[in-house]
Each structure stands twice: as structure tokens, then as C-alpha cells.
Amino acid sequence: MNSGSLEVGREAGFATWIVTGGIGGGWTIMSRMGMAVVAEVVTACSWNELVLSSDMPVLVEFWASWCGPCKMVGRLMDELAHEYSGKIQCFRIDADDYPRVAALYGVERIPTILVFKHAEKLEMIVGTLPKSVYVAAIQKLLAQ
């Protein structure tokens, strides 16, 4: 399968997004106004490469498409990916599609954010919480 491209219109008043990507890699999302940094999708196949082998600290959101609170946390993850670009990496993995990965790391409820550094899980944040909770975890992670 080749990499693909998809143009997606957003809500009224927002930019049109152009989404490109391919197998094994994350998706790049660009607006007509420039590059947007967002949390990338990770799979069981790309987990070791993207999460465990990362030179930077990593946040991973476990989510599901049917989960309303996950959508709120997903927006926060995109904001954090943009705000901490170059300092951390943010990923998301669908817990329904990859239940073994979720079980391996003790994820029983979604949304759950796992915080990794040098392939070690340092923190688990469960539920929909204020952005300040995630920022505090990132600041703690960067201070180590």
C-alpha cells in the first residue's frame, strides 16, 4: 500500500487540513496556513520504534473512537504536541485495536496517558483532567 493524501475540511471558520501519511509511520497534518504539530498515531508494530526507542520523552494516549472524553483529551494532546514540539513526542494508540499493548502497560480505562522516558513508563494519568495536570507531568519529566 502506498502513502496517501486526503484533504479534510474543518468546521466553519477553521482552516482546511491536508493529511498525508503511509504505512508504518505517523500522519503529517498541514493546514493551508502552515505545518501543525499533532499527536501521531502509533500501532503495535511501530510501538518499539516510536515509543520505546525515542530519544525524547514520550506521552502516549490510549483512546477509542467511541469514547467522548477521549476526544477532549485528544485535543489536549494535540495542543501539548504543538507547545512542546522538539522537547517531547506525543502519540495516540487505539486501545480497541491494540488491547495487548494496553494490557501490557496496565491500561484498564480510557482515556489514559502514559509517560515514558528511555523506554521506561514513569507515570500513568487516567481520565479527563485539566490541562495543568498534563503540563505538570511534562514539566516533571523534562526536569529529570
Q: Strand 40-41 relative to strand 4-8: parallel, antiparallel, unpaired?
A: unpaired
If DSSP codes are grouped into helix, strand and coil, which group holds residue 135?
helix
128: DSSP letter:
-
- 67 carries an active-site annotation: yes
The residue annotated as part of the active site, out of 38, 67, 81, 90, is 67
Contact 19/8 with Cβ under 8 angstroms?
yes
Tell me the three state secondary structure of residue 82: helix
Catalytic: 70? yes
Residue 70, phi then psi, degrees to nearest 5 = -65, -35
C-alpha cell at 45: 508494530
- Cα 95–chain centre separation: 12
Q: Which listed residue (50, 51, 58, 70) is catalytic?
A: 70
Active centre residues (catalytic):
67, 70
